[in-house]
């Protein structure tokens, strides 16, 4: 199947946007657990689960008018 075809069927797409500082090992473990849950509970094919981690500096976040970093 072409990459474009795969994009059309790949669901769910999980985007984790958080503060920087987690190791690759932590991200892999989190991704594994999320994937396992969606496969077991949601009956989603494993290869349809896409997870993206987006690390940002605390100073890039403002909550309630207060800069976080």
Helix (H, G, I), strand (E, B), or coil: what is residue 1? coil
Q: Where are the alpha helices (DSSP H) in the chain?
A: 3-9, 24-40
For position 69, what pLDDT does the model report?
87
Q: How far apart are the two ends of the chain, measured CA to CA in Å? A: 44
Calculate the alpha carbon distances from 27 to 4, 39, 51 in Å.
26, 18, 10
- Name the pLDDT band for 2 (thresholds 50, 70, 90): low
Catalytic residues: 12
Which domains can be identified in the chain, with CATH numbers?
3-58 (3.30.429.10)
For position 11, what pLDDT does the model report?
83
For residue range 11-64, list pLDDT tens digits in order.
899 999 999 999 999 999 999 999 999 999 999 999 999 999 999 999 999 999
Q: Given a cut of 80, is residue 6 above it in pLDDT?
A: no
Sign of CA dihedral 62, 64, 66, 69: negative
For position 8, what pLDDT does the model report?
57
């Amino acid at each position: 199947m072409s990459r474009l075809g795969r994009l059309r069927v790949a669901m769910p797409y999980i985007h984790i946007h958080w503060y920087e500082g987690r190791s690759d090992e932590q991200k892999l473990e989190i991704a594994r657990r999320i994937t396992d849950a969606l496969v077991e509970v949601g009956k989603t094919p494993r290869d349809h689960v896409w997870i993206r981690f987006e690390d940002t500096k605390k100073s890039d976040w403002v909550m309630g008018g207060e800069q976080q970093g």
